[in-house]
Amino acid sequence: MKVYINKKFYEKEEAKISVFDHGFLYGDGVFEGIRSYDRTVFCLREHIDRLFASAKVLMLEVPMSKKELEEAVIDTLKENNLSDAYIRVIITRGVGDLGLDPKKCKEPTVVIITDKIVLYPQDLYKNGLEVITASTRRNIPEAVNPCVKSLNYLNNIFAKIEARRAGCEEAIMLNSEGYVAECTGDNIFIIKNNTLITPPTYIGALPGITKNVVMKIAKEKCKMEVKEELFTTYELYTSEECFLTGTAAEVIPVVKVDGRAINDSKPGKYTLQIMDEFKKITKVLGVKY
């Protein structure tokens, strides 16, 4: 495997960054997870746009144009001869000293890794996930805004630990006011009365790329009403269907939340239709290489 670091390729064993890099020391940086399907990078431009938006909030100057970064992603895939892959693009503040001052970091670090990923066992896509609600609350926007896809993921990791201790693959995170925000790495949807509902970003949800595609599928292909609105665990427990979305997860059903069955513990009809439509669109919606 070849890894892209600052415009050069290195073998996996030789791909290194400095221990003084602020991304390593402080989680000072941003990243994107992207997928390619059959030599098509799914929603590449949307991912690069979100990466640049995250960097802007951190006042982190990306040392490449959007076009150059897109080309670097394609070059890394070609270098590794991959047609179906998971792509991780990372921009850190760069090498500084042991202090916090970002001005000490003179040049950002750019890393691109392309590899395979399996987030959930395949049988869970057929039978559905069981999830819990974590006691760990989602970061408030006035602290580390969840709309920023930063390298600081401790908030999510705490909730993931709770899920694992409960014997589950995933955990739902509430915001500080008790509304459902998202999961540790995925956006969440519920379905009630032929309406697809997902939390708005302002309460602590990442503006998901896959989420936006799924909302369009639900509206155009499934003829559903689609809403971004607040809901609590009550609406979640009493929903007709529930599923999660994310770049690595794609679309995966949820059949039990905190021990409460959703749709008799089976993936719902709309969820299955959305999953099927999403598979069709992945190979045509994006940048070919």
266: its two tokens: 């089976």
Catalytic residue check, 149: yes
39 — alpha (psi -120 to 50), left (phi > 0) or beta?
left
16: its two tokens: 């290194």
Task: Extract the runs of DSSP E, i.e. beta strands, from the chain.
Answer: 2-5, 8-11, 29-37, 40-42, 85-92, 109-115, 129-133, 170-174, 180-183, 187-192, 195-198, 225-228, 241-246, 250-257, 260-261, 286-288
Q: How far is CA 223 from CA 3, 182, 195, in A?
A: 43, 24, 9
Check the CA dihedral 273-231-173-212 and report its sign.
positive
Q: Which of 67, 126, 149, 219 is catalytic?
A: 149
Q: How far is CA 249 from CA 66, 142, 177, 186, 212, in A?
A: 25, 28, 27, 7, 14
Catalytic residues: 149
